[in-house]
Structure 1
Amino acid sequence: MTSHVSKVVSLRSEASSAKTFHAAETEDAERKVDWVSLLVIAPAILILLGFLVLFFYGVYQSLTDMRLGRPVVRFVGFANYIALMKTSDFWNSVRVTIVYALSAVFIEALIGLAIAKLFATGVTLARWLRPFILLPLVLPPMSVALMWTTMMNPQSGILNYLFSLVGMGPFLWISSPATALISIILIDVWTYTPFFALIIFAGLQGITDDLREAARINGARSWATFINIELPLVAPYILIAAVFRLIESFNQFDIIFGTTQGGPGNSTSALSVQAYISAFQNLTFGRGAAMMVVNWLIVLIGATLMVRAWQAVRRRVH
Structure 2
Amino acid sequence: MTAHVSETAIAVRTSAHEKALQTEKSEGPAQQIDWFSLVVIAPAVLILLGFLLLFFYGVYQSLTDLRLGRPIVRFVGLANYAALMNTADFWNNVRVTVTYALSAVLLQALLGLAIAKLFASGVLLARWLRPIILLPLVLPPMSVALMWTTMMNPQSGVLNYLLSLVGLGPFAWIADPATALVSVILIDVWTYTPFFALIIFAGLQGITDDIREAARINGAKGWATFWRIELPLVAPYILIAAVFRLIESFNQFDIIFGTTQGGPGDATAALSVQGYITAFQNMTFGRGAALMVVNWLIVLIGAFLTVQAWQAVRRRVN
Bin the TM-score by the shorter chain.
over 0.9
Q: 1:13 to 1:43 in 2, by over 3 A?
A: farther
Q: Do structure 1's residue 59 and structure 2's residue 88 form an aligned pair?
A: no
Distance 1:4 1:110 in 2: 85
Task: State the partner residue of 2:77.
Answer: 77
Question: How many residues in Structure 1 have an aligned counterpart in Structure 2?
Answer: 318
Following superposition, the deviation at residue 236 of structure 1 comes to 0.7
- 1:1-318 pair list within 5 angstroms: 5-32=5-32, 34-318=34-318
Distance 1:4 1:194 in 2: 83
Following superposition, the deviation at residue 216 of structure 1 comes to 0.8
SS, match of residue 114 in structure 2: helix
SS, match of residue 198 in structure 1: helix
Q: 1:32 to 1:116 in 2, by over 3 A?
A: farther
1:71-130 CA-to-partner distances (Å, cap 9, x unmatched) read: 100001111011111111111100000000000000000000000111111211112211
SS, match of residue 267 in structure 2: coil
Distance 2:47 2:129 in 1: 39
1:123-161 CA-to-partner distances (Å, cap 9, x unmatched) read: 111122111221111111111111111111111111111
Q: 1:150 to 1:252 in 2, by over 3 A?
A: same
Superposed structure 1 runs of 4+ greater than 6 Å apart? none
SS, match of residue 164 in structure 1: helix
Distance 1:193 1:211 in 2: 27
Distance 1:120 1:18 in 2: 63
Structure 2 unaligned residues grouped into runs of 5+:
none
Between 1:27-36 and 1:103-112, the stretch displaced more is 27-36
Q: 1:13 to 1:225 in 2, by over 3 A?
A: same
Between 1:53-62 and 1:266-275, the stretch displaced more is 53-62
Following superposition, the deviation at residue 192 of structure 1 comes to 0.5
Following superposition, the deviation at residue 193 of structure 1 comes to 0.4
SS, match of residue 168 in structure 1: coil
Following superposition, the deviation at residue 191 of structure 1 comes to 0.6
Following superposition, the deviation at residue 8 of structure 1 comes to 4.3
The TM-score normalised by the length of structure 1 is: 0.96
Distance 1:214 1:115 in 2: 25
- Among all aligned residue pairs of Structure 1 and Structure 2, give the percentage whose two residues are the same amino acid: 78
Distance 1:301 1:195 in 2: 22
Between 1:38-47 and 1:235-244, the stretch displaced more is 38-47
The amino acid that maps onto 1:72 is I
Distance 1:152 1:67 in 2: 37
The amino acid that maps onto 2:218 is N
SS, match of residue 289 in structure 2: helix
SS, match of residue 244 in structure 1: helix
Structure 1 unaligned residues grouped into runs of 5+:
none
The amino acid that maps onto 1:157 is G
Between 1:43-52 and 1:141-150, the stretch displaced more is 43-52
1:234-272 CA-to-partner distances (Å, cap 9, x unmatched) read: 111111110110011000001101111001111000000
The amino acid that maps onto 2:189 is V
SS, match of residue 170 in structure 1: coil
Distance 2:15 2:47 in 1: 48
Following superposition, the deviation at residue 10 of structure 1 comes to 4.0
Distance 1:17 1:256 in 2: 74
Distance 1:12 1:134 in 2: 72
Distance 1:103 1:118 in 2: 23
Distance 1:203 1:292 in 2: 35
Distance 1:38 1:229 in 2: 46
Distance 2:8 2:43 in 1: 54
SS, match of residue 168 in structure 2: coil
The amino acid that maps onto 1:94 is V
The amino acid that maps onto 1:236 is P
Distance 2:131 2:11 in 1: 70
Following superposition, the deviation at residue 164 of structure 1 comes to 1.4
Between 1:64-73 and 1:25-34, the stretch displaced more is 25-34
SS, match of residue 252 in structure 1: coil
SS, match of residue 122 in structure 2: coil
SS, match of residue 167 in structure 1: coil
Distance 1:153 1:76 in 2: 45
Q: 1:271 to 1:204 in 2, by over 3 A?
A: same
